Amino acid sequence: IRSGPIQEAYDLPELSLAAWNSVANTVINGTTRRTVKRFFRNAFRVKDPSCDIVCQRNLLCSLRMGHHNSTLYCPPASWTSYSLRTNRITP
C-alpha cells in the first residue's frame, strides 16, 4: 500500500486516530520544532504563514475538536488558565 502525503509529511505508520493524535500531541507540546513548523505551513499552504498566537491557539484547538460543541475543547480566549495539553482548566 502506497502511503499518502499526510503520512509522509508526519512520518505516520498509518492513518489511524491514534497516529493523528500523536501528531497533535507533538504539535501542541512543541516536542519537535520541525513538526510544529510543518504543521502550520501545511495548514495555510504557504512557506511562512502569518498566524498570531490567537490564530495558532484556534488551529491547535481544532486538532482536538471532534465534537459539535467547540467550547468543549476550545473555550473562549478569556479562559487564560485553560491548558491545550490537558483540555482542563488549571489552577
Q: Which residue has the higher pLDDT, 83 or 26?
A: 26
**pLDDT at 91 (0 to 100):** 46
Q: Taking all residues of the chain, what is their mean pLDDT, rounded to a whole number?
A: 73
**Cα→Cα distances 49→34, 37, 57, Å:** 15, 9, 14
Q: Which residue has the higher pLDDT, 4 or 72?
A: 4
**Matching residue, cell 475543547:** 73
Note the pTM of the prediction, 2 decimals.
Answer: 0.60
**Cα→Cα distances 69→22, 57, 63, 66, 73, Å:** 23, 17, 14, 9, 8
Residues 39 and 23 sit within 8 Å (Cβ to Cβ) = yes
pLDDT digits (tens, 9 = 90+) for 38-70: 888 888 888 888 888 778 877 877 776 665 555
Alpha-carbon gap, residue 84 to 64, rounded angstroms: 9
